[in-house]
A and B are shown apart, each in its own frame.
Chain A
Amino acid sequence: MTLIAQSIALFFLVAGTAFSLIGIFGFLRLPDVYTRLHASGKVSVFGVVFLLIAAILLTPLSAWKGLLLIFFVLLAAPSVSHALASAAYKTGIPMARVERDDLKGKLEKSGEEG
């Protein structure tokens, strides 16, 4: 039983570390702030969630607390990504390699909201 739990924990530990690394890798490779948010906001969150699952199995962290932490991470991460993307767009940071921008010109029209 403990062997099975430990193997599962090990899998999540390795997967979590791998996804965290891929997130950093993506952060370095992608060209601008918006695409980089995809890497940090999704791939790295994936890594954190996997590491938390491993922590539930391996450390004295109780399952309920761990699941609540996962829930909060999943709740907070997209909000943070959105806040950063929105702030970046409003301060006028340009997008690299942009192919289409439906938001262009819309912001000036709606005034100084936000």
Chain B
Amino acid sequence: MRRVQIAIPLLLVYLALSGNVTLPNLVVGALVALGVSSLLPVGNGAAFSWKRLPRFLWALIRYFFVVVTDILEGGLSTARLVLDPKLPIHPGIIALPAGSRTELGAALSAHAISLSPGELVVEMDDEGTLFVHCLDVQQSAQYAEAAQRLRRRLLREMFE
């Protein structure tokens, strides 16, 4: 049942991308969607329920804006660093708690860190600690924790 739940949005994306809703295309799309969803591991995330949907969407929208700001800031600050003639980098790896117990939540959190300014996830251990490579260790150690707390709260509202 979970697999069909995953397959339906996949089919919709397929139809949107190919841009024609004829019967043969629908059949091919359904087969591809089922094939892909049968390869995916069924996660241990919270089950879907209509009651949670508004809260989920609201958290998703806020999370989206947080991530977009992070992307813009990340691109600009890395670009500035690169163009600085002195190249003021202090690289290193710091440990950060992912703060999400579900696999999907932890993966999304790692994804968001990789997009945020000057940080890049290198490794993750079984307890959900993320090891993040930073261009500026002192600055990241100072700010990353607070930024991560905000993302963690939003992710928790969505998936737990």
Contact = CB atoms under 8 A, between A and B. Distances in A.
Contact of B17 (A65, A81, A82, A101): A65
Interface in A19-37: 19, 22-23, 25-26, 29-32, 34-35, 37
Given A65-B17, A79-B111, A98-B91, A22 B79 contact: yes
Contacts of A29: 82, 87
B123 interface: yes
A19 B79 contact: yes
Question: Which bracket fits the contact residues of A?
Answer: 35 or more
Interface string B7-41: 00000010011010000000000000000000000
Contacts of A37: 120, 133
B82 A39 contact: yes
Given A29-B82, A97-B91, A100-B93, A85 B75 contact: no
Interface residues of B, number: 35
Contacts, number: 121
Given A38-B78, A100-B137, A110-B126, A64 B16 contact: yes
Interface of A is mostly: helix
A68 interface: yes
Interface of B is mostly: mixed
A101 B115 contact: no
Contacts of B133: 34, 37-38, 85, 95
Interface of B: 13, 16-17, 19, 71, 74-75, 78-79, 81-83, 87, 89-95, 110-111, 114-115, 118, 120-123, 125-126, 131, 133, 135, 137
Interface of A: 19, 22-23, 25-26, 29-32, 34-35, 37-39, 41-43, 45-46, 62, 64-65, 68, 74-75, 77-79, 81-82, 85-86, 89, 95-104, 106-107, 110
